[in-house]
Amino acid sequence: MTSSSPSTPWLASRFSPLLLPPALPHPFIFKRDLPTKSKLVLAVLRQPYGVPRAANNGRRSFSRLVGEEDEVRQAVAVPSSVPVRVAHELLQAGHRYLDVRTVDEFIAGHAVGAVNIPYMFKVGSGMARNPKFVEEVLSVFGKDDEIIVGCQSGKRSLLAAADLCSAGFTGITDIAGGYSAWVQTRLPINQ
């Protein structure tokens, strides 16, 4: 039996980092390792949150990698948001302004040239989504039109912009801060 130095434990003296195998990466971490026949995309499972594990083939995850041939809903594109000054420049460059506030909010004041199609209606003390919103937008705008979407503070317009992107509109841009920021920046309005 060989002796090792008293400061080095016996097991540690028998192994060196050079003798250990290198850590193997997971095959899906690097793009070069992905199968070339089928491009993999991130998709959302059809099961809603809270589906029992048994109904989800024992998996806990709510997203998975799938091949192009699988019939699953693709992840939704998120529209870009721009500050009001950039939105004003886009409007001057030919984009069209879609104001998704309620009719009463629109009548109280709106950006010059804005078209009003409410994303939500006041119902009692709350708000309800306009079920014909996308249909009404299609009656005024084309799916390839460059549209900037605004509301009062920026929350409804982001939801509306996401719905429009999901419906196939390609030129959607959200106005961060909404009409409130538009007024604070002293951009042109109609009252």
CB 151 within 8 A of CB 177: no
Going by pLDDT thresholds of 50, 70 and 90, the confidence category of residue 191 is confident
Residue of 111, 151, 172, 175 with catalytic role? 151
Catalytic residue list contains 151? yes
Tokens at residue 117, please?
């199609």
Backbone angles phi, psi at 65, to 5 degrees: -90, 135
Residues 119 and 146: their CA atoms lie apart, in Å, by: 18
Q: At residue 17, does pLDDT exceed 60?
A: no
Range 13-41 average pLDDT: 45
Residues 33 and 65: their CA atoms lie apart, in Å, by: 14
pLDDT score of 47:
34
What ranges do the domains of the chain cover?
11-66, 80-190
Q: What angle do CA 81, 86, 89 make, to 5 degrees?
A: 135
Q: What is the pLDDT of residues 148-190, one digit of tens each?
A: 999 999 999 999 999 999 999 999 999 999 999 999 999 999 8
pLDDT score of 104:
95
> Whole-prediction pTM value?
0.61
Range 17-32 average pLDDT: 48
Helix (H) or strand (E) holding 147, with range, is strand 146-150
Please give the span between the terminal C-alpha atoms of the chain, in angstroms, as a whole number: 95
What percentage of the chain exceeds 90 in pLDDT?
56
DSSP 17: G
CATH topology of domain 80-190: Oxidized Rhodanese; domain 1 (3.40.250)
Residues 173 and 80: their CA atoms lie apart, in Å, by: 5
DSSP 142: -
Q: At residue 87, does pLDDT exceed 90?
A: yes
Q: At residue 56, does pLDDT exceed 50?
A: no
Q: At residue 43, does pLDDT exceed 70?
A: no
